[in-house]
Structure formats: C-alpha cells, structure tokens
C-alpha cells in the first residue's frame, strides 16, 4: 500500500497535510465502530495512550510528560491564564497563532521581536518566553540553545512549540530540546 496518494500532487503539507493510507484506514475503522456501536470510548482512550507513548519515544521524553489535546492553543491557554496579570512574555513576531493568541488574550505584557532576536530580548523582566523550534511560516530554525540559556539565566518559563520540528529534529544529548535541522560545524 502506498502511504500517500495525492491527486494530482500536494504542496500544502505545512498547514493541511493529507493522511497516510494507514491513518485513513484506521479512522474509517473507528468511524464504522462508532456508527454501529461496536466499541466504546475506552478503546479510543487506549489508542490515545499508545499514541502518547509512541510520541514520547520519538522525542525522547517520558509518556507522562506528553499532553494530548485538540490544538496547541487549547493546551497553552491554561498556562497563559496562570501567569499573573502584567507578566512579560517574549514571543517571535511571526509566531504561529496557536502559540501567540493564548498569551495575547490574557492581561499580559506580550513583547514580539524578530525570531533571531528572541534570546536577546529575554531579561530580568521576562516571566515567560514562547517560541517555535521551527517557524511554520518560514522554516527558520530558532536559536534554541541561546533561547533556552537566556530563559534559564533569568528564571523565565520556557514554552517551546515543536510542531514543525518533530521528525526533522532529534535530541542528541540529555536536556537538549532539538538538534538543529541543518549541518553544523560543532
């Protein structure tokens, strides 16, 4: 079975990916089971936990550290809402809306800067920094090590969206978020 069968081709994979055949068939099976009352939600819960564990292995973390939700915005909203009013949050100016809007809708001081300037914008006033490891709009890879170091130096909460990076980036050492998705000299 071919995993993908686009007709005539497909270029919009960043925002609307077509499912591989195996995923499409699994969805059809689940829909048929639901439609005919063959199984209950408990099996879907077990499959969600299997997916959580598989994702955890992919990114090199414990399964209990992986949250499952409908969107990044849905998962980030309670984090953003938990920050005290007026907290300073540094975010790239081209950040994906799912990692920007949760901060903007709260009474927070959201500072946007070009992606290359995120690490430099983190200072003693910064309470949180939210950024994508790889920007969906441009493919730009964040200065991950520098952003992490600056956030740690100033005690800022670090929120790293790995949506565009997972599968193309891999952790190569304990404590690292992502190996840069390009050849490096060291």
For 27-57, write each residue's pLDDT tens digit: 999 899 999 998 888 888 888 999 999 988 9
Q: How high is the pLDDT of residue 41?
A: 84
- Strand order of the β-sheet with 126-132 is 109-113, 88-92, 126-132, 157-161
What are 174's two structure tokens? 């304990």
Query: At a CB cut-off of 8 Å and minimum separation 6, what does 105 contact?
Result: 80
Task: List the helix and strand counts (H, then E) for the chain.
Answer: 6, 4
Residue 109 bridge partners (DSSP): 88
Full-model pTM:
0.74
Which of these, 138, 147, 134, lies nearest to 181 by C-alpha position?
Answer: 134
Count of beta carbons in the 10 Å neighbourhood of residue 124: 9
The answer regarding whether domain 72-161 maps to CATH 3.40.640.10 reads: yes
Of the ranges 10-19, 103-112, 167-176, which is most confident? 103-112
Tokens 């591989």 belong to which residue? 20
Phi, psi values for residue 6, rounded to 5°: -70, 145
For 68-114, write each residue's pLDDT tens digit: 888 889 999 999 999 999 999 999 999 999 999 999 999 999 999 99
């Amino acid at each position: 079975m071919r995993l993908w069968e686009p007709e005539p081709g497909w270029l919009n994979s960043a925002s609307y990916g077509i499912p591989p055949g195996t995923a499409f068939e699994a969805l059809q099976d689940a829909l048929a089971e639901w439609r005919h009352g063959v199984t209950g939600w408990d099996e879907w819960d077990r499959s969600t936990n299997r997916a959580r564990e598989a994702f955890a292995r992919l990114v090199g973390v414990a399964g209990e550290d992986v949250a499952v939700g409908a969107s990044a915005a849905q998962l980030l909203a309670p984090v953003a809402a938990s920050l005290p009013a007026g907290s300073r949050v540094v975010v790239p100016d081209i950040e994906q809306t799912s990692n920007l809007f949760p901060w903007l809708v709260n009474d927070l001081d959201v500072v946007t800067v070009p992606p290359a300037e995120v690490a430099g914008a983190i200072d003693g006033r910064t309470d949180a920094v939210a950024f994508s490891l790889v920007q969906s709009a441009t493919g730009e890879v964040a200065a991950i090590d520098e952003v992490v170091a600056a956030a740690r130096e100033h005690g800022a909460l670090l929120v790293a969206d790995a949506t565009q990076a997972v599968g193309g980036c891999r952790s190569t050492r304990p404590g690292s978020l992502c190996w840069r998705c390009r050849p490096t000299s060291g």
